[in-house]
Structure 1
Amino acid sequence: MFPTRLEIIPSEGIVEKVRAAVPLGTTLTITCLPHHGIGRTMRAAVELSRLGYRAVPHLAARALEDRSQLAGILRDCDGAGIREVFAVGGDTPRPAGPYGTSAELMEDIAQYSGGSIAVGVAGYPEGHPAVSGLDLLEDLLTKQHMASHVVTQMCFSAPKIVDFVALLRREGVDLPVWAGVAGAVPRTKLVSLATQIGVGTSLKFLSRKGPLARRLLSGDRYSPAPLVAGLAENQDRIAGIHLYTFNSLDAAAANQAAADHAAAPDALGTAPASA
């Protein structure tokens, strides 16, 4: 059985949606989108943490205006009992302040927090459209001493995720890896999102006919269960499932149950080898 985290977007009313659909104690990671800003991410994270969820705000390096803003964020985290953040570079082309990369941000997080804040970082089994594979690997090697774990980009192929973990281990990155898995969403929305973020390669199964494609899609919706079942065959390499919910929180409990069932020992005998 895999531990599961839920990624949410801090849209209007998200706290009320979470309270209605997600059990207290669940780990929730809160994205930081350019048009929302870090302020909205932190407000949602603080409120959710105080309600009894384990909130993990995303901090985008290029969105931070100065070091005093970071210091204030870390004070807010401390006051709300938040002990973990997720550091990304951010999608804005130019930094708003002193941080151009997540590594630079992580250095100050470690200094200002005295090491009391765990920091997750991103991994890319299918690469990044703007960064070479070698540079991505060197970046992880450089900052792994400041990181607590890796979360992969949304991926749809168990072999790609497993191969990515094997590559990291061969190259000396020993951080736990959480597999980024899409929750149950309409297929048209899923294909659009995957194309935008550059993971179309592992979505080629959508155009294939056969038992695997039929299992991955139920009607017009994608199901994560077969992918998780494929990952479960290498459970010793995967720390857990990072579920991208797209704020479809009514389906979050079903997604978690499907992931738990797919990873359970009695489910492995019928699980496909890959997704």
Structure 2
Amino acid sequence: MVKPLIHPNWERAPDGVTDGYSLEMTAKDIESLRAAAALMPVDTPVAVTFLPGEEPAARVAATRAVRDLGFEPMPHFSARRITSQAEFEDYLQAVVHEAGVKRCFVVAGDPPEPQGPFFDTSALIATGAFERAGIKAIGIGGHPEGHPNMNAAQCWQVLEAKVAEIERRGMAPLIVTQFSFDPDAVLAWLEELRAHGIDAPVRVGIPGPAGIKTLLRFAARCGVGASASVMKKYGISITNLIGNAGPDKLVDTFAARLGEEHGPVRLHFYPFGGLVRTVEWIAAYAKA
């Protein structure tokens, strides 16, 4: 069994629920990351997303900026958006050589049909390129509220197979969930995950503070449950769409209820374009 290389302090119990958090950025967020850097702990994992319409050089520059600022870069690889084996390996080699990348995150991507030879994340992992490049950890997606194209049994089968394949190739698996407004669904999923014998570390997706309309728009785009009852649990009435909302109640619930039965868990923040605001919120929450 490979010992997970996910965060320098992963082995010890966190001081608080936000301890050891990670977050996402896009290639356009370099200046925002610089502005937030003073509030972030050294070695904070920062995922660099793989969005359509971006130049690979922009993603490489963002990944390099993460490293230069003292954080741990984790670039995304979107399987169906990669047009060739050469494009995949060129990008992988670039982030390894220019930013010292040791961990990557793989997603299938939004297009229903692949734009190149890779239909899904398993196809990327199967190339062997990650371990050849010296990558130590691979992040894969988790879906506490289900997957639009798979039933529950298929989701567990696919997840178990990916975790086993990553470990077989000498790398450490990490599961990162889609953001959710429903802590009950996430906690139940974590218990089921451990019941399936999957002991990989999990980063639970948390929506960063944002306008209520923005939060609901991202929820609709990402297939996240946002019913009236769920949003009430989160602290939002969907009859009032004016103003901003932070994840205070959600994070409070995880702080109170996460236990040994849920295995190793940390939080992963989705800033929704407000990286500085998200980091400021985390710092204030941790201090409080």
Same topology, TM > 0.5: yes
For the pair 1:197 / 2:222, whether they are aligned, the reply is: yes
SS of structure 1 residue aligned to 2:74:
strand
1:257–1:203 distance in 2 versus 1, CA, 3 Å: farther
- Contact 2:208-2:271 at 8 Å conserved across structures: yes
- Contact 2:75-2:104 at 8 Å conserved across structures: yes
CA distance in 2, matches of 1:6, 1:48: 11
For the pair 1:226 / 2:226, whether they are aligned, the reply is: no
Alignment-derived partner of residue 186 in structure 1: 211
Letter in 1 for 2:276: D
For the pair 1:33 / 2:51, whether they are aligned, the reply is: yes
Letter in 2 for 1:89: A
Letter in 2 for 1:200: G
Alignment-derived partner of residue 69 in structure 1: 87
Letter in 2 for 1:242: H
Alignment-derived partner of residue 9 in structure 1: 26
SS of structure 1 residue aligned to 2:210:
coil
CA distance in 2, matches of 1:81, 1:28: 13
Q: Percent identity?
A: 27
CA distance in 1, matches of 2:151, 2:285: 32
SS of structure 1 residue aligned to 2:31:
helix
- Contact 2:211-2:242 at 8 Å conserved across structures: no
- After TM superposition, give the deviation of residue 137 of structure 1 in Å: 1.3
Letter in 2 for 1:70: F
Describe the superposition over 1:173-208 as per-residue Cα deviations: whole angstroms up to 9, x where unpaired: 2211111000100111111111121112466343x4
- After TM superposition, give the deviation of residue 6 of structure 1 in Å: 1.3
Runs of 5+ unmatched residues, structure 2: 1-15, 167-171
Query: What does 1:1-275 align with in structure 2 at a 5 Å threshold?
Result: 1=16, 2=18, 3-11=20-28, 14-23=29-38, 25=42, 26-36=44-54, 38-79=56-97, 80-108=99-127, 109-114=129-134, 116-145=135-164, 146=166, 147-201=172-226, 204-206=229-231, 208=232, 212-213=235-236, 220-232=243-255, 233-236=257-260, 237=262, 238-260=264-286
CA distance in 1, matches of 2:143, 2:185: 10
Letter in 2 for 1:223: G
- Paired positions, count: 255
- After TM superposition, give the deviation of residue 172 of structure 1 in Å: 2.2
Alignment-derived partner of residue 272 in structure 1: none
Alignment-derived partner of residue 267 in structure 1: none
TM-score calculated relative to the size of structure 2: 0.79
- After TM superposition, give the deviation of residue 141 of structure 1 in Å: 0.6
Letter in 2 for 1:93: P
TM-score calculated relative to the size of structure 1: 0.83
- After TM superposition, give the deviation of residue 69 of structure 1 in Å: 2.3
CA distance in 1, matches of 2:282, 2:241: 17
Letter in 2 for 1:177: V
Note the aligned Cα RMSD (angstroms): 2.6
1:123–1:261 distance in 2 versus 1, CA, 3 Å: farther
- After TM superposition, give the deviation of residue 159 of structure 1 in Å: 1.3
- After TM superposition, give the deviation of residue 34 of structure 1 in Å: 2.4
CA distance in 2, matches of 1:211, 1:103: 34
- After TM superposition, give the deviation of residue 258 of structure 1 in Å: 4.9
SS of structure 2 residue aligned to 1:179:
strand
